[in-house]
Amino acid sequence: MTRTPTLQMLWETCDPYGVIATRFGHHDADAVARWVTSTLEARWGLNVDACERIVMSDHNALAWVATPAGPMVLKWSIATAQFPRLDALARLTDWLARKGLPVSLPIATLEGDFQVELDGVSLCLQRRIDGGLLDITQPDQVSEAGVVLGQLHDALAEYPGQIPDIAVTTASLSQGLFKVVVAAWCRVDTPWVRYKPGGHGGYRDRGGCLTSTADRSESCRARTRIFSHPGR
């Protein structure tokens, strides 16, 4: 591998070439590319054709890499206090993938781990998935997103664990996701439904049925109406 990766900052205005040295401990772009390459070979058994670019934000970094198995993204963090949370997120993502949800499944290491710690760094490898942002002016896109979020709502409500550093249960988190998609539906005129804010912190459908996002049983019934039958 001879290509030197481009270094970028996601939000910060500081010099990325200084940050890679002072914050992440690599002398320059070539040095971090060699580290990425050797890490993927040793822990994942992957050959790297090119390390194309590295994007940094706070104490986290992403490396875009080309491999014979396809484009990948290596994510790593040096925020040691977040390591337990990152491990829990990797396990949650694996659980969601096994439930059939369209998530970016972490790729297991040779030892079968999804999140690994190495020399004070926590790493996770995922496939690069190309896509675009949801266009809420397009009813078909909103409908499809609603179906997927409804499935995610159900899966998160069943998840037996709890994500560290979040003070609410995953059931409450899934209700928050439900509010997001309903808010998107409120901004789209469709032939099947027009949701408007209702009383008691809920929403009313075109037939006048109250959907309370505070009550899980009601929100699940409403989710069935919204997400399972978007063509009505």
The pLDDT value given to residue 195: 35
The pLDDT value given to residue 229: 36
- Chain segment 88-116, per-residue pLDDT in tens: 999 999 999 999 998 888 999 999 999 99
**pTM for this one?**
0.70
The predicted model gives 207-217 an average pLDDT of: 35
Considering the chain, what percentage of its residues have pLDDT values greater than 90? 46
pLDDT, mean over the chain = 77
CA 185 to chain CA mean position, Å: 22
- The CATH classification number of 6-127 equals 3.30.200.20
The pLDDT value given to residue 131: 83
The pLDDT value given to residue 109: 97
The pLDDT value given to residue 224: 37
The pLDDT value given to residue 2: 58
- Chain segment 3-60, per-residue pLDDT in tens: 799 999 999 999 999 999 999 999 999 999 999 999 999 999 999 999 999 999 999 9
- Cα dihedral 210, 215, 219, 220 sign: negative
The predicted model gives 197-219 an average pLDDT of: 36
The pLDDT value given to residue 183: 58
Whole-angstrom CA distances from 64 to 49, 67, 92 are: 11, 10, 23
Look up residue 71 and give its two tokens.
């484009």
Lowest pLDDT segment from 62-71, 140-149, 214-223: 214-223
The pLDDT value given to residue 221: 37
Residue 130: pLDDT band by 50, 70, 90 thresholds?
A: confident
The pLDDT value given to residue 180: 53
Characterize 175-204 residue by residue with b for buried, 16 or more Cβ atoms within 10 angstroms of its Cβ, and e for exposed: beebeebbebbeebeeeebebeeeeeebbb
How many CB atoms are closer than 10 A to CB 214? 12
The pLDDT value given to residue 178: 58
CB 136 within 8 Å of CB 96: no
Domain residue ranges of the chain, discontinuous segments joined by +: 6-127, 139-228
Amino acid at 30: D
- Chain segment 131-176, per-residue pLDDT in tens: 888 888 888 888 888 888 888 888 888 888 875 555 445 555 555 5
CB 70 within 8 Å of CB 46: no
CB 88 within 8 Å of CB 75: no
CB 157 within 8 Å of CB 170: yes
The pLDDT value given to residue 173: 53
- Cα dihedral 6, 10, 15, 20 sign: negative
Look up residue 126 and give its two tokens.
């995922």
Whole-angstrom CA distances from 43 to 12, 60, 102, 176, 223 are: 31, 19, 25, 37, 42
